[in-house]
Amino acid sequence: MADVTFQGAPVHTAGELPAVGSQAPDFSLASGELKDLTLADFKGRKKLLNIVPSLDTPVCAISTRRFNDVGAKAAVLIISADLPFAAGRVVQADGLEQVVTLSTLRSPEFGAAYGVGIIDSPLKGLMARAVVVLDENDQVIYTQLVSEIADEPDYAAAIAALG
Protein backbone atom coordinates (compact mmCIF):
# COMPACT_ATOMS: atom_id res chain seq x y z
CA MET A 1 0.00 0.00 0.00
CA ALA A 2 1.25 3.45 -0.90
CA ASP A 3 0.42 6.65 0.94
CA VAL A 4 -0.46 9.80 -0.98
CA THR A 5 -2.55 12.82 -0.13
CA PHE A 6 -5.50 14.63 -1.61
CA GLN A 7 -5.51 18.31 -0.67
CA GLY A 8 -3.33 17.35 2.30
CA ALA A 9 -5.55 14.53 3.61
CA PRO A 10 -4.11 10.99 3.65
CA VAL A 11 -5.17 8.57 0.92
CA HIS A 12 -4.08 4.95 0.54
CA THR A 13 -3.71 2.86 -2.59
CA ALA A 14 -4.25 -0.84 -3.21
CA GLY A 15 -0.55 -1.54 -3.54
CA GLU A 16 2.62 -0.26 -5.15
CA LEU A 17 3.43 0.72 -8.72
CA PRO A 18 5.12 -2.01 -10.76
CA ALA A 19 8.88 -1.92 -10.20
CA VAL A 20 11.18 -0.45 -12.83
CA GLY A 21 12.64 -3.38 -14.73
CA SER A 22 9.59 -5.60 -14.18
CA GLN A 23 7.15 -6.80 -16.80
CA ALA A 24 4.03 -4.64 -16.79
CA PRO A 25 0.84 -6.37 -15.69
CA ASP A 26 -1.48 -6.97 -18.63
CA PHE A 27 -4.87 -5.28 -18.58
CA SER A 28 -8.13 -5.12 -20.44
CA LEU A 29 -9.67 -1.65 -20.38
CA ALA A 30 -12.65 -0.13 -22.20
CA SER A 31 -11.90 2.31 -25.00
CA GLY A 32 -14.09 5.23 -26.02
CA GLU A 33 -15.70 2.89 -28.54
CA LEU A 34 -16.42 0.37 -25.72
CA LYS A 35 -13.88 -2.05 -27.19
CA ASP A 36 -11.70 -3.85 -24.67
CA LEU A 37 -8.03 -3.03 -25.31
CA THR A 38 -5.01 -4.80 -23.82
CA LEU A 39 -1.27 -4.20 -23.84
CA ALA A 40 -1.09 -6.47 -26.90
CA ASP A 41 -3.08 -3.86 -28.85
CA PHE A 42 -0.07 -1.55 -28.54
CA LYS A 43 2.55 -4.23 -29.20
CA GLY A 44 5.92 -3.05 -30.43
CA ARG A 45 5.42 0.56 -29.28
CA LYS A 46 6.59 2.36 -26.19
CA LYS A 47 3.67 3.23 -23.95
CA LEU A 48 3.06 6.11 -21.57
CA LEU A 49 0.28 5.34 -19.10
CA ASN A 50 -1.11 8.57 -17.68
CA ILE A 51 -3.26 7.25 -14.84
CA VAL A 52 -5.65 9.88 -13.48
CA PRO A 53 -8.59 10.07 -11.06
CA SER A 54 -10.97 11.70 -13.59
CA LEU A 55 -10.55 13.62 -16.83
CA ASP A 56 -13.32 15.87 -15.56
CA THR A 57 -10.85 17.70 -13.30
CA PRO A 58 -8.48 20.50 -14.28
CA VAL A 59 -5.18 18.75 -13.42
CA CYS A 60 -6.17 15.55 -15.23
CA ALA A 61 -7.16 17.52 -18.32
CA ILE A 62 -3.89 19.48 -18.20
CA SER A 63 -1.77 16.33 -18.00
CA THR A 64 -3.71 14.79 -20.88
CA ARG A 65 -3.06 17.86 -23.04
CA ARG A 66 0.65 17.89 -22.10
CA PHE A 67 1.14 14.19 -22.89
CA ASN A 68 -0.83 14.49 -26.15
CA ASP A 69 2.28 16.12 -27.60
CA VAL A 70 4.36 12.94 -27.21
CA GLY A 71 1.91 10.76 -29.12
CA ALA A 72 4.38 10.41 -32.00
CA LYS A 73 6.98 8.83 -29.67
CA ALA A 74 4.69 6.39 -27.86
CA ALA A 75 1.17 5.16 -27.40
CA VAL A 76 -0.22 7.61 -24.83
CA LEU A 77 -2.89 5.86 -22.77
CA ILE A 78 -5.04 7.98 -20.48
CA ILE A 79 -6.48 5.64 -17.86
CA SER A 80 -9.26 6.64 -15.46
CA ALA A 81 -12.44 5.37 -13.85
CA ASP A 82 -14.43 7.74 -16.08
CA LEU A 83 -17.10 6.33 -18.31
CA PRO A 84 -15.69 5.91 -21.82
CA PHE A 85 -18.20 8.45 -23.18
CA ALA A 86 -17.16 11.16 -20.74
CA ALA A 87 -13.44 10.62 -21.33
CA GLY A 88 -14.01 10.72 -25.07
CA ARG A 89 -15.87 14.03 -24.80
CA VAL A 90 -12.98 15.64 -22.94
CA VAL A 91 -10.34 14.69 -25.49
CA GLN A 92 -12.63 15.48 -28.42
CA ALA A 93 -13.49 18.92 -27.02
CA ASP A 94 -9.76 19.71 -26.72
CA GLY A 95 -8.93 18.23 -30.14
CA LEU A 96 -6.52 15.71 -28.62
CA GLU A 97 -5.81 13.15 -31.32
CA GLN A 98 -2.60 11.57 -30.00
CA VAL A 99 -4.05 9.95 -26.88
CA VAL A 100 -6.19 6.89 -26.26
CA THR A 101 -8.63 7.09 -23.36
CA LEU A 102 -9.21 3.88 -21.44
CA SER A 103 -11.69 3.24 -18.65
CA THR A 104 -11.49 0.84 -15.72
CA LEU A 105 -15.28 0.52 -16.04
CA ARG A 106 -15.14 -3.26 -16.56
CA SER A 107 -11.74 -3.80 -14.97
CA PRO A 108 -11.64 -2.80 -11.31
CA GLU A 109 -8.64 -5.12 -10.90
CA PHE A 110 -6.46 -2.62 -12.82
CA GLY A 111 -6.16 -0.46 -9.69
CA ALA A 112 -4.77 -3.36 -7.67
CA ALA A 113 -2.51 -4.69 -10.44
CA TYR A 114 -0.87 -1.29 -10.90
CA GLY A 115 -1.09 -0.28 -7.23
CA VAL A 116 -3.07 2.89 -7.98
CA GLY A 117 -6.60 2.01 -6.88
CA ILE A 118 -7.67 4.30 -4.04
CA ILE A 119 -9.02 2.17 -1.19
CA ASP A 120 -10.22 4.84 1.24
CA SER A 121 -11.17 8.52 1.50
CA PRO A 122 -13.88 10.26 -0.53
CA LEU A 123 -11.91 9.24 -3.67
CA LYS A 124 -12.32 5.52 -2.99
CA GLY A 125 -12.79 3.66 -6.28
CA LEU A 126 -10.82 6.15 -8.36
CA MET A 127 -7.15 5.89 -9.36
CA ALA A 128 -4.31 7.83 -7.77
CA ARG A 129 -2.38 10.06 -10.17
CA ALA A 130 0.56 8.15 -11.63
CA VAL A 131 2.66 7.80 -14.75
CA VAL A 132 4.08 4.49 -15.91
CA VAL A 133 6.29 4.28 -19.01
CA LEU A 134 6.79 0.95 -20.76
CA ASP A 135 9.27 -0.01 -23.46
CA GLU A 136 8.31 -1.82 -26.68
CA ASN A 137 8.34 -5.15 -24.80
CA ASP A 138 6.10 -3.93 -21.94
CA GLN A 139 8.95 -3.69 -19.47
CA VAL A 140 8.54 -0.86 -16.94
CA ILE A 141 11.18 1.81 -17.56
CA TYR A 142 9.80 4.68 -15.45
CA THR A 143 7.18 5.22 -12.75
CA GLN A 144 5.90 8.11 -10.70
CA LEU A 145 3.15 8.01 -8.12
CA VAL A 146 2.34 11.69 -7.58
CA SER A 147 2.46 12.23 -3.82
CA GLU A 148 -0.32 14.87 -3.84
CA ILE A 149 -3.17 13.84 -6.13
CA ALA A 150 -4.00 17.49 -6.88
CA ASP A 151 -0.46 18.06 -8.28
CA GLU A 152 0.74 17.50 -11.83
CA PRO A 153 3.21 14.73 -12.65
CA ASP A 154 6.84 15.31 -13.62
CA TYR A 155 6.34 15.71 -17.36
CA ALA A 156 10.03 16.15 -18.18
CA ALA A 157 11.07 12.94 -16.43
CA ALA A 158 8.30 10.88 -18.04
CA ILE A 159 9.06 12.22 -21.51
CA ALA A 160 12.80 11.71 -21.01
CA ALA A 161 12.11 8.06 -20.16
CA LEU A 162 10.65 7.62 -23.64
CA GLY A 163 14.07 8.50 -25.09
Active-site residues, by number, are 60
C-alpha separations of 158 from 20, 76, 80, 112, 139 in Å: 13, 11, 18, 22, 15
Radius of gyration of the chain (CA): 14
Residue 105 has φ and ψ, to the nearest 5°, of -45, -50
Contact between 92 and 100 under an 8 Å Cβ cutoff? The reply is no
